[in-house]
Amino acid sequence: MKRGGAWWAWLIFFIGMLYFIVPLIATFHFSLKMKREGLSFEAYRVVFSSSQFQETFTFSVVAAICTIILGVLIVVPTAYWVRLRMPQLRPVIEFITLLPLVIPAIVIVFGYIRMYGTNSWLPFLGTITGTNVLLVIGYVVLALPYMYRAVDTGLRTIDVKTLTEAAQIMGAGWTTIIGRVILPNVLIAVLSGAFLTFAIVLGEFTIASLLNRPAFGPYMQNLGANRAYEPAALAIIAFLLTWGCMTAIQFLARYAPKSANRPN
């Protein structure tokens, strides 16, 4: 009976693996067929040597880093404060953070264009720097549901109130409490949120395209519409990048401060 159960479990696992791996292998195989005479990494060479790839990728990575920093600065103190002082507001905050999932990015970006156009009282779109700032703010909004949930889940695993009071009674101010007590104890959660944010920013198309910024998302879309083998190579690159991020998170988690919630 038990052996039969194990056999079915392995079969389902195997089918699941095929479901995920076959398309990847097919894409990878297709990306190697750019040269007619045989398999080669020509598509990858073309992609990597493209100055547009380098520029858009660098732009998006910098934008992602700025988004993560701004997101952490906004979300960690907010989630901490709601948990500590205004727990009754949690459902409201959760609802607000979920809004970007139900409001399409195109609505957000058109709102931005109307609100912050050159004729508005806050003309973000009047300069390139201003537009870049608006892009990052837009990314923070898009990543809010993931970042907030990750941080809030992290905060749930520690006794926020008692740890805060313990630090306060020993003379610590708010900056010390958040920087030395709260943040290190939710670091893994913040890293998960950061990883998700990175993935969202790297693939985001709508906001970057409508704000006319040279980001990686519009580049991938443009390449996909006009080329055959390079998009497949890009897909594999994006996949490896995601796996690289996950490995980095795992690696960082291993060296993150030990806690009672994560003893091993």
Partner 1 sequence: MADSFLSIQHVKKSFGEVTVVQDFNLDVAPGEFVSFLGPSGCGKTTVLRMVAGFEEPTAGKIVIAGKDVTRLKPNQRNIGMVFQAYALFPNLTVAQNIAFGLRVAGMPKADQGKRVAEMLNIIKLPQMGDRYPYQLSGGQQQRIALARALAPSPKLLLLDEPLSALDAKVRVSLRDEIRSIQKRLGITTVFVTHDQEEALSISDRIVVMYQGVAEQMGTPFEIYNRPSTKFVANFVGTLNVLEGTVSDPAKGTVKVADDMITVKSSLNGAKAGDAVTLALRPEAIALGEYPGHDQKLPGKIADVNFLGSVIRVKVAVGKAIVSMDTFNKSTTPPPQVGEPASITFTSRDVLVLH
Residue numbers at the binding site for partner 1 (CB under 8 A): 158-159, 162-163, 165-173, 176, 180-181, 184-185, 257-261, 263
The CB-of-235 to partner 1 minimum distance in angstroms stands at: 39
Q: At what angle do helices 2-31 and 229-255 cross, to 10 degrees?
A: 130
The CB-of-52 to partner 1 minimum distance in angstroms stands at: 43
Residues 6 or more apart in contact with residue 84 via CB below 8 angstroms:
160, 161, 164
Please state the φ and ψ torsions of residue 196, each to the nearest 5 degrees.
Answer: -65, -40
The C-alpha atoms of residue 74 and residue 89 are separated, in whole angstroms, by 16
Residue number, 132 or 185, with CB nearest to partner 1: 185
The C-alpha atoms of residue 174 and residue 168 are separated, in whole angstroms, by 8
The conformation of residue 122, written as its DSSP 8-state character, comes to S
The C-alpha atoms of residue 94 and residue 101 are separated, in whole angstroms, by 12
The CB-of-197 to partner 1 minimum distance in angstroms stands at: 23
Residue number, 91 or 171, with CB nearest to partner 1: 171
Q: For residue 239, give both structure tokens.
A: 């996949």
Residue number, 170 or 225, with CB nearest to partner 1: 170
CA 84 to chain centre: 26
The CB-of-65 to partner 1 minimum distance in angstroms stands at: 24
Residue number, 76 or 105, with CB nearest to partner 1: 76
The C-alpha atoms of residue 112 and residue 189 are separated, in whole angstroms, by 30
Residue number, 70 or 172, with CB nearest to partner 1: 172
Residue number, 145 or 193, with CB nearest to partner 1: 193
The CB-of-83 to partner 1 minimum distance in angstroms stands at: 16
The CB-of-80 to partner 1 minimum distance in angstroms stands at: 15
Residue 67 vs residues 119, 127, 144, 179, 202: alpha-carbon distances, Å: 26, 19, 10, 19, 11
Residue number, 96 or 252, with CB nearest to partner 1: 252
The CB-of-190 to partner 1 minimum distance in angstroms stands at: 13
What is the H or E stretch that residue 228 is in?
Answer: none
What residues pair up with 259 in beta bridges, in sequence order? Answer: 262
CA 262 to chain centre: 23
